[in-house]
Amino acid sequence: MGWLTDWRRSRVLKKHRIDERQWLAATGGFAFLKNYPHEKLKRLVLQFLAEKHFTGAHGFQVTDTIRLSIAAQACLPVLELGLDWYAGWSGIVVYPGDFRVRRSEVDEDGVLHEWDDELAGEAMPGGPVVLSWDAAAHATDINVVIHEFAHKLDMLNGAPNGMPPLHAGMDAAAWHAAFTVAFEGFNDALERGTDTWLDPYAAEHPSEFFAVISESFFEDPAETRRRYPDVYDQLKLFYRQDPA
Ligand SMILES: [Zn+2]
């Protein structure tokens, strides 16, 4: 059914335009977006908006500006990959602020533990992306939108493990080596109490490291390349972009 999708997407571009003033209102706060091909990003955003469905949680009103702002950042990782990388789900749930999720786990003695996590974002395999607008709107050090959509890419080949499906010609061993060295070095630095450049949350799991360094790849590519040259090279091959 690829032709039908192609036809729908080209029709969206013929019928809709993004007003430049509205685009600036939605994206002006994200200076890094100016480094990317403007018209190409806008075209992808139009198609993204036609295919994804936004819902406000807790009575939150998702305005056109909010939709545009989230879509612009979400489209950046797939700018050269295409929207098919976000296929198979359509929901984006936006909370006004951080939200609570109930977690539970049965320990080795069979005892059920339950607790609440407070989150700024969550991506579910085959399900929606959930975002806190407060966190998404004040993305300075942390970009929750790019973070959650990077998780979506990571989940395409099963449980998130820090390695999305690589393109033909990419070397899984090279990816694994680059990310393992970086992840272990990052954890060592945290244990020594060294100030880390990346959000310490990256140490939680290889999948979190991939999501966090994907944020910095797009937001601060030159510094990402300087600090993590091997990881940068792998991300460049995967995202098919060389923003530095
Ligand atoms: Zn995460």
What's the CA-to-centroid distance between 69 and ligand 1, angstroms?
Answer: 20
What's the CA-to-centroid distance between 201 and ligand 1, angstroms?
Answer: 8
For residue 7 the two structure tokens come to: 């036809």
What's the CA-to-centroid distance between 1 and ligand 1, angstroms?
Answer: 32
What's the CA-to-centroid distance between 52 and ligand 1, angstroms?
Answer: 21
What's the CA-to-centroid distance between 10 and ligand 1, angstroms?
Answer: 33
Distances, alpha carbon 124 to alpha carbons 13, 63, 121, in Å: 29, 23, 10
What's the CA-to-centroid distance between 208 and ligand 1, angstroms?
Answer: 5
- Dihedral through CA 89, CA 128, CA 54, CA 49, nearest 10? -40
Q: How far apart are CA 100 and CA 84, in angstroms?
A: 30
155 contacts 123 by C-beta, under 8 angstroms = yes
The pLDDT assigned to 10 comes to 86
What's the CA-to-centroid distance between 148 and ligand 1, angstroms?
Answer: 6
The pLDDT assigned to 139 comes to 67
pTM: 0.93
* pLDDT, one tens digit for every residue, the chain (244 residues): 577 888 888 888 888 889 899 999 999 999 999 999 999 999 999 999 999 999 999 999 999 999 999 999 999 999 999 999 999 999 999 999 999 988 888 999 999 999 888 889 999 888 999 999 999 988 667 899 999 999 999 999 988 999 999 999 999 999 999 999 999 999 999 999 988 999 999 999 999 999 999 999 999 999 999 999 999 999 999 999 999 9
What's the CA-to-centroid distance between 192 and ligand 1, angstroms?
Answer: 23
Q: Which of 22, 66, 58, 18 lies closest to 42 in space, CA to CA?
A: 18
What phi-psi label fits residue 129: left (phi over 0), alpha (psi between -120 and 50 degrees) or beta?
beta
What's the CA-to-centroid distance between 2 and ligand 1, angstroms?
Answer: 31
What's the CA-to-centroid distance between 207 and ligand 1, angstroms?
Answer: 7
What's the CA-to-centroid distance between 136 and ligand 1, angstroms?
Answer: 14
What's the CA-to-centroid distance between 131 and ligand 1, angstroms?
Answer: 11
What's the CA-to-centroid distance between 117 and ligand 1, angstroms?
Answer: 13
For residue 212 the two structure tokens come to: 């966090």
What's the CA-to-centroid distance between 25 and ligand 1, angstroms?
Answer: 27
The pLDDT assigned to 6 comes to 85
What's the CA-to-centroid distance between 122 and ligand 1, angstroms?
Answer: 7
What's the CA-to-centroid distance between 151 and ligand 1, angstroms?
Answer: 7
What's the CA-to-centroid distance between 16 and ligand 1, angstroms?
Answer: 33
